[in-house]
Homo-oligomer: A and B are copies of this chain.
Amino acid sequence: MKLYDDRDPAPNPRRVRIFLREKGLEIPLVNVPLAEGRHKAPEFLAKNSLGQLPVLELDDGTTLSESVSICRYLEALHPEPPLFGRDPAESARIDMWIRRVEFRVMQPAGMIWVHLHPFTAAYAASQGRAQFKDFGESNWKVFAGACRWLDREIAGHEFVAGDRYSMADIVLQTTVDFGAAIGIDLPADCAKLAGWYERVRARPSAALDLSRFPVEQARKALGR
């Protein structure tokens, strides 16, 4: 088994690395530098026709993509500690929260990144793709609204899906960390969410050293 992977702060590969550390698992990593476009090379497209990281290659040569699906597979092989739930109700609740974080919080942050961020403008142009700035701008409000909703939902819970750390925390943390690295910060009035963020960042599996990224430059470029 090996994992095709890239460095921080790309959120999807990072989800699997955090998951592996929480599980105490080691899998050989193969670096596919996104910045060099190596994920769009023919030999990589043969592993994932979407040209995205991460990809898990099994010992029979078949491949599996989508970070959450890869982690789900690893959980089935190595159930302890459970990060996708201990019983049907808890598992469904964690799954629901993974989806809510992806569709509600990650989605508008991604739209700001793709349609508004100066760091992605050249890449969009190289793909013959426009950045729709007005649409991008509209996502600030959507993102802030989603964070405030989450702030209310997380009140009284230690973690996203309840009182146990789970895959939903990994999905949210990699989103918030990625946002922080590219200049998309949590709204200042989300105290419960900020408390949760401190709790997950304190875990040995999951620290992201934001000083490694040009955060101030990104914020300025976004006009924040």
- Please give the residue numbers on chain A whose beta carbons come within 8 Å of chain B beta carbons, in ascending order: 49-50, 58, 62, 64-66, 68-70, 72-73, 76-77, 88-89, 91-93, 95-96, 99-100, 104, 115, 129-130, 132, 134-135, 138, 149, 152-153
Contacts and interface: CB of A to CB of B under 8 A. Distances in A.
Interface on chain A toward B: helix, strand, loop, or mixed SS?
helix
Contacts of A129: 138
A201 B50 CA distance: 27
Q: How many monomers of this chain does the complex have?
A: 2
Given A73-B88, A76-B92, A91-B73, A99 B68 contact: yes
Given A69-B99, A132-B138, A88 B64 contact: no
A71 to B, nearest CB: 9
Contact of A72 (B65, B69, B92, B130): B92
B96 A88 contact: no
A134 B58 CA distance: 42
B66 A104 contact: no
A69 B50 contact: no
